[in-house]
Structure 1
Amino acid sequence: MNPGIPQSAQYPVQQQPPFDPAQIDDDADLIDIKELLRTLWRRRMVILGSVLFITSLALLIVFQLTPRYTASALLTLQTRQEAVVDIQAVMSGLSTDASVIRTELDVISSRRLIGKLVDTLKLTKDPEFNGALREPNPFTQALNPKTYLSHDWLLALGLASVDEETLSEEERQAMEQAKVVDAVTEALNVSNPKLSYTIQIAFESEDPKKAAQLANTLANLYLTDQLEAKFEATQRATDWLSERIGDLKTRVVNAEQAVQEYREKNEIIESGKDGTVNEQQLAELNAQLVTARTDLAEAEARYSQVKSRLGGRTSAASLGEVLNSPLIQRLGEQEAEVRRKLAEIAKRYGPRHPDTIAVTSELNDIRGKISEETAKITKSVENEVRVARARVDTLSQNLEVLKKENTTAEKARVELRELEREAQSSRVLLETFLSRFKETSNQEDLQQADARIISQAEMPVEASFPKKKLILAVAVVLSGMVGLGLAFLLEALDNGFRALEHVEKVNRIKGLGMIPKLTALKLKGLTPFRYAVKKPTSAYSEALRSVYTSLMFGHPGDSRPKSLLVTSSLPGEGKTTFSLSLALLLSRAGNLKVLYIEADLRRANIAKSMIETDEKAPSIAQYLSGAVEHWEECLFKDGATGLDLILAGGKTDYPQTLLQSDRMKRLVTDADERYDLVIIDTPPLLAVSDAVIISHYVDVALFVVKWESTARDAVRNALELLRKAGAPLGGAILTQVDVKRHAYYGYGDYASYYGRYGDYYAN
């Protein structure tokens, strides 16, 4: 070994192995099931306590709650209406639309219908719904703010509305009624199952019989309310129709009277279906005129024919009027007979025969009669023409007079028809209203509710509230969740280290061991380092040896560190106890020559802890300051173990200057040559930086962490100081480990077995 070179340079293999961030990142992405289970096991009392506490509290509350019973009545809306008579109803049936069903639910739960229920069952006298009748609960009164606040404060906070003392009796009863209606409404639940036309009316009450009574009564009130609504609508329609019919009757009478008066005033006389008299006269006169004109035309034609025959060669005897005359016909027959007779006599006797002459005279006489009769007929035809013409003229004059009269009458009839139409419309409207009045009057006895009860509410057997099994099950589940949440929350808030693997993972440093905490019962007045010497086979001593073994044999080859620096992040973490206990234990074994150096020049306390100290022995501060020439003069040997110690002595003004001096470096170098192991106890890193300075002179720096106590940030910051300074970190040690609690937490490392296998130790 080269005495001029520090041990940290001679043992490079003792440095921390390089840290691989990728390895930590890969491990961070994985869920450590074992660690999760260990966390649950460590916090099992928190979880179990949460479950027991919340479940017990829920159990206590459940059994303190008053049981409530729910009874339900089921109604169905009538989707098929029974048509007793084929008339239109005044109030039609309900539609099956979803909005209509929702409206019916609101009607059932309306304050108007609930008010009827309250009045029917006299619920204002029921203490269950009228809180004023209930006996005050001392516990509730204690929690009620009205007990402690004045009325003005209650008004300001909205806990009171008006001063009840100023209310009249009617107002007080109305307020009491409103509160009872509110209480009953809270106990009511009206629902409509999906895809159905049914309505469920459910009431919750402390009395099962009362719950059924409330549901059935409300269902009946709802049906009665529907009928009353229809009766009221029908009655209103009947009253309105009756009033309108009276008005219409008066209107019809007035209209018909106006028509009649107008007829009389304008002398318009109807004659059945043929219209007025004037119209009939005009039609008849017109027909007569047509006939007269036809007769005149015929007479003129005959007269013209007669005149033409008289003036021409044709005999008038051939005229139709002549031929049709009975006299002419008889004379013609006589003429024919006389002519036949004349022909026979003339043939027999000749023209001069007296008989022939007599017959000829008879024939001429007959012909004279015919001519005379023909002249009479011709004169008659002429007279007919004059009569026909006179008749035509008379009828024409009369027709013109009637036309003028009819024009005047027609003008009057225009207004008459308007009056008649008004009278007719009033008459039709009156008949319609009369018919509707009869139909509406008949409906009063035929009204049906739009719903019917299909299931009466029955008295429930079991309470619907509280559901004890469900509440307890939920309480157990929720309490378990709360317990798990608290467990993980406490674990997340836990800022200390309880296992070496935690220290290794978080701080990327090797874990060397865990030192058990010595209780006062075990120490029995001894200091921990004297206990290690007195109990060399105890768990505490074995833990010290385990740390030394991990440190010495945790390096490749035969290289072993000889100078050790022991430090921590904060005071009170047990670094002095650990370093001195290790030094005394190894020195007491006799196979190693050990030197313990107290390098805490600010708070020296070893001299106070040692029973046998040489107060005359110089301190390391005196050597470093030059008051003592050689460091060997500062050595002090422990009589019980043979350990060589160099104590810090009193406080110095410039400790860092002394520790950075060549004397300190020479001390460590010379001690490495003369001793098998040099242990240097240094101040905490976060308090002062003395340990950083000394770390450049040693082979390995050991970092002490107090179990469960030291904050993780403090450990990380302290290690960061050593890493930045290039200190040779050898590993970390957990001190003051509560063995029972550590085993209880279930970490599963070797410290968990200290308490399990006590036969191996002599504690």
Structure 2
Amino acid sequence: MGTRVNLMHETPAPAEGRRRRTDEGPGGAARQARTDDALDLMAILRMLWRRRAIILGTIVVFMVLATLMLVQVSPRYTATALLTLEARQESVIDIEAVMSGLSPDASVINTELDVLQSGRLLGKLVDARNLTDDPEFNSALRPPNPIVQYLDPRTYIPPEWLTALGLSPEAGPVLSEAEQRARQRNRVIDAVGAALSVSNPDRSYTIRVSFETGSPDKSAALANTLADLYLTDQLEAKFEAIERATRWLGTRIGDLRQRVREAEVAVQRFREENQIIQASERVTVSEQQLAELNSQLITAQNDLTAAEARYAQVRDLADRGAISALGAVLDSALVQRLREQEAQIQQRRAEISNRYGERHPEVSKVNAELQDIRGKIAVEVNRIVAGMGNEVQVARGRVKALETRLDALKATSSNVEAARVELRELEREAESSRVLLENFLSRSKETASQEGLQQADARIISEAKPPAAPSYPKKKLVLAVVLVLASAVGVGLAILLEALDRGYRSLDHVQRDTGVTGLGMVPRLPRGKLRGKAPFDYVVRSPTSAYAEALRSAFNTLTYGRTPPPRTVLVTSSLPGEGKTTLGLCLARLLARAGDRRVLFIEADLRRGRVWPTLSGRAKAKRDEDRAPTLDAYLSGAEARWQACVITDEVSNLDLILGSGQGRDVQTLLRSDRMAHLVEAAREQYNLVLIDSPPVLAVSDAIVLSRLADTTVLVVQWAAMARDGVKSAVAMLDKADVEIGGAVMTQVDLRKHSRYGYGDYASYYGQYGHYYAN
């Protein structure tokens, strides 16, 4: 054994390597599974299950507080009236309204929302419902809250101190009664505005008007009243607009009438001053005379031309002697009668000449008649020609007279036209004033006709009804939120407590934090089972109990699968009180009682020997003395043979070497060759040597003794030992290159452990108790 220890010192393996080999041992697969389960959801659920009491307690406390709060809070009721803006306007008469309807776009809807919440409209509501006398809105009418007064520190401070500290309200200016009422009304309006909620759903012309008060009937009444006031306000605005328009139109019409009158008088006066007489609607007398005279002149000129043409023709015919062929001559009735007489006389002359001859007196008589007729014809023709000459002179004189008159009339007309330019300007001004007057008269009539046709730009589509249930507090919602929050707080507390829990409650925790294999969990023995006996007595008396089976399971996990199995096992712990000595002694008695192996228990804790006081009266030494020599006696050389220090437990046939508990220079003794010789010799004579060593963090004896053992078992007390202590102990053993065979958890409260829901085999001890004889 000494040689083996020296070899270990010559080729020390790193701590990680020793631990890795440990992982490759019997518990390697379990530790690998533990790594894979580090983020397993089941681990979280088990943690929550372990802390379910704090979670449920937190939920119960929060729910009770929330219920008490809901009972104390005064309920509030919300009633809603629905309005809609009219996108379609009815037109009874086809005239333009004085105030057109609303265009229901987003900006107009937002404006109407502001109108509904305006102080002017809310003031009308306050006056209509007499809300200044309502204590809910008028805080001056509410009695003071005694709790608030009790909690207000100013109640207990003298007034002069408050004044000195500047905490007393300063006296303001003295207000008249009307000013006080006005301020009170403004405060009530603000309170009503706080209870009002106005909204417009997206893509809708609907407006929701909601009131939240302590009474369902009041909420509905306020919402409906405000909706009615809003519609009435719209109509009043239109009527006021019509009234203003009518007044303005009346004033303008009066002014325009005066202007028209003055303009028409000016036109008439100008006509008279400039002698502009209107013959018709569009023509003046001078224009008409000028046109008629011009027409006469043209006619006269045409007549003159015709007369001159006829006279020229007569003169031409006269020069050729063919005057009788003149059409005027031919057309004369006198000439025609004279021609007929001439023809008759010529016929009679011809008859007389044929009958009597040319020389007959009758022929001369007839010739004298013929000459007389022809003289008359010539006189008539000359008269006609002279008449035609006179016609030319008359026509020429008429033309000249007309031209003279026309020139005079043109001069007069030119002056009139110059005056007519100014006259037309006066007429246009008068006409524009007249048209404007007519338009205003027509608009005034239209405006007057609209008074009875006005309608609001919105309408109520749903009146507010008294709500059956309060809107505040929403008990179900509050309780649901509180339940969620309480659950979150409970889970947070559970996580916090789990993080603050410095003790190990499962071998998985030990494996996760230290990498040491978990060998087993030994249950705590209640006093009812011990019946005044020690645990090592109970394990002998009840070898098939759960306690005994836990010890066997831990030992089997340590030894099975290891070749060769360890024959010297060091049992230690981080700190005193974790049950390492009890565990080692119980395991040793249990294995020795089985009879299939020889077991030696060495109490190597030379500083605090406690096994002998416990075993006194139960174990009997082979020698006659009451107590055999102790281990430190052999190590110090006081006893030559280590076999002399062995005592035998007759009940279990266990051999023990005990310490005195009063050793000095303990580490010198433990490092001595006699100690190494003892362990090596015991390995040859016994199948299993269990060495009970002091705690690792208390003294370094365990590290010294670990050099003599095949493996070391670390005892961890369930839920009591701080994790940092266990980690420190493992770190010290790793630095000393100690092979840690595994950890055994002792004093496990099986009932609590099963409730924690770790799911390990210790959780099922209670469920399968019929397998054990406790």
Q: What secondary structure is seen at the aligned counterpart in 2 of 1:684?
A: coil
**Structure 1 letter corresponding to 2:509:** H
Distance change in 2, residues 1:631/1:339 (3 Å): farther
CA distance in 2, matches of 1:170, 1:630: 118
CA apart distance, 1:288: 2.0
| Partner in structure 2 of residue 219 of structure 1 | 227
Q: What secondary structure is seen at the aligned counterpart in 1 of 2:521?
A: strand
**Structure 2 letter corresponding to 1:695:** S
Is this contact kept in 2: 1:583–1:595, CA < 8 A? Answer: no
Distance change in 2, residues 1:381/1:498 (3 Å): same
Distance change in 2, residues 1:160/1:100 (3 Å): farther
| Partner in structure 2 of residue 719 of structure 1 | 730
Cα deviations across residues 527-568 of structure 1 (Å, max 9, x unaligned)? xxx553477447796377336633554334562331314232
| Partner in structure 2 of residue 204 of structure 1 | 212
Is this contact kept in 2: 1:567–1:684, CA < 8 A? Answer: yes
**Structure 1 letter corresponding to 2:141:** L
Given candidates 628, 642, 646, the residue that maps to 2:659 is 646
CA distance in 2, matches of 1:390, 1:737: 161
Matched, 1:273 2:281: yes
Distance change in 2, residues 1:428/1:567 (3 Å): same
Matched, 1:679 2:691: yes
Q: What secondary structure is seen at the aligned counterpart in 1 of 2:359?
A: coil
Given candidates 333, 341, 346, the residue that maps to 1:339 is 346
CA distance in 2, matches of 1:211, 1:51: 35
Is this contact kept in 1: 2:554–2:744, CA < 8 A? Answer: no
CA apart distance, 1:269: 3.1
Given candidates 532, 536, 546, the residue that maps to 1:532 is 536
| Partner in structure 2 of residue 109 of structure 1 | 117
| Partner in structure 2 of residue 560 of structure 1 | 566
| Partner in structure 1 of residue 441 of structure 2 | 434
| Partner in structure 2 of residue 699 of structure 1 | 710
Is this contact kept in 2: 1:535–1:762, CA < 8 A? Answer: no
Where in structure 2 are the equivalents of 1:315-354 lying within 5 Å? 316-354=323-361
Distance change in 2, residues 1:418/1:186 (3 Å): same
Cα deviations across residues 349-401 of structure 1 (Å, max 9, x unaligned)? 33333333222212211211221222222222223223323333333344344
**Structure 2 letter corresponding to 1:301:** A
State which drifts further: 742-751 or 220-229: 742-751
Matched, 1:746 2:757: yes
| Partner in structure 2 of residue 252 of structure 1 | 260
CA distance in 2, matches of 1:385, 1:697: 179
| Partner in structure 1 of residue 740 of structure 2 | 729
| Partner in structure 1 of residue 556 of structure 2 | 550
CA apart distance, 1:283: 1.7
| Partner in structure 2 of residue 592 of structure 1 | 599
CA distance in 2, matches of 1:14, 1:643: 34
Is this contact kept in 2: 1:242–1:437, CA < 8 A? Answer: yes
Percent identical across equivalent pairs? Answer: 50
CA apart distance, 1:444: 1.3
State which drifts further: 359-368 or 204-213: 204-213
Distance change in 2, residues 1:329/1:27 (3 Å): same
Matched, 1:124 2:121: no
Query: Runs of 5+ in structure 2 lacking a partner?
Result: 10-17, 617-625
Where in structure 2 are the equivalents of 1:502-513 lying within 5 Å? 502-513=509-520
Cα deviations across residues 25-58 of structure 1 (Å, max 9, x unaligned)? 983487454x455334322212322332222222
Matched, 1:242 2:263: no
| Partner in structure 2 of residue 229 of structure 1 | 237
Matched, 1:414 2:458: no
Matched, 1:27 2:40: no
Matched, 1:309 2:317: yes
CA apart distance, 1:122: 0.7
Distance change in 2, residues 1:634/1:566 (3 Å): farther
Aligned length: 743
CA apart distance, 1:293: 1.6
Is this contact kept in 2: 1:563–1:672, CA < 8 A? Answer: no
CA apart distance, 1:178: 3.0
Distance change in 2, residues 1:594/1:134 (3 Å): same
CA distance in 1, matches of 2:523, 2:302: 157
Q: What secondary structure is seen at the aligned counterpart in 2 of 1:189?
A: strand
CA apart distance, 1:198: 4.3
CA apart distance, 1:298: 1.0
CA distance in 1, matches of 2:460, 2:65: 43
CA apart distance, 1:117: 0.9
CA apart distance, 1:702: 1.6
Given candidates 93, 105, 129, the residue that maps to 2:101 is 93
| Partner in structure 2 of residue 288 of structure 1 | 296
Is this contact kept in 1: 2:277–2:284, CA < 8 A? Answer: yes
CA distance in 1, matches of 2:515, 2:557: 17
CA apart distance, 1:221: 1.2
Distance change in 2, residues 1:550/1:185 (3 Å): farther
CA apart distance, 1:23: 4.7
CA apart distance, 1:694: 4.4
Is this contact kept in 1: 2:600–2:682, CA < 8 A? Answer: no
Distance change in 2, residues 1:423/1:140 (3 Å): same
State which drifts further: 335-344 or 122-131: 335-344
| Partner in structure 2 of residue 174 of structure 1 | 182
CA distance in 2, matches of 1:517, 1:205: 64
Distance change in 2, residues 1:67/1:563 (3 Å): closer
Given candidates 81, 84, 87, the residue that maps to 2:92 is 84
CA distance in 1, matches of 2:310, 2:436: 64
Question: Cα RMSD over matched residues?
Answer: 4.5
State which drifts further: 337-346 or 212-221: 337-346
CA distance in 2, matches of 1:439, 1:516: 105
Cα deviations across residues 241-288 of structure 1 (Å, max 9, x unaligned)? 222223323333343344334434444333223522332232222222
Query: Runs of 5+ in structure 1 lacking a partner?
Result: none
Is this contact kept in 2: 1:537–1:761, CA < 8 A? Answer: no
State which drifts further: 516-525 or 205-214: 516-525
Distance change in 2, residues 1:260/1:596 (3 Å): same
CA distance in 2, matches of 1:389, 1:623: 189
**Structure 1 letter corresponding to 2:278:** E
Is this contact kept in 2: 1:588–1:643, CA < 8 A? Answer: no
Matched, 1:384 2:397: no
CA apart distance, 1:306: 1.7
Is this contact kept in 1: 2:196–2:211, CA < 8 A? Answer: yes
Distance change in 2, residues 1:197/1:14 (3 Å): closer
Distance change in 2, residues 1:13/1:470 (3 Å): closer
Cα deviations across residues 389-436 of structure 1 (Å, max 9, x unaligned)? 333333334434443443443333333323322222222122111111
**Structure 2 letter corresponding to 1:677:** V
Given candidates 135, 138, 141, the residue that maps to 2:143 is 135
Matched, 1:4 2:21: no
Q: What secondary structure is seen at the aligned counterpart in 2 of 1:449?
A: coil
Q: What secondary structure is seen at the aligned counterpart in 1 of 2:281?
A: helix
Q: What secondary structure is seen at the aligned counterpart in 2 of 1:272?
A: coil
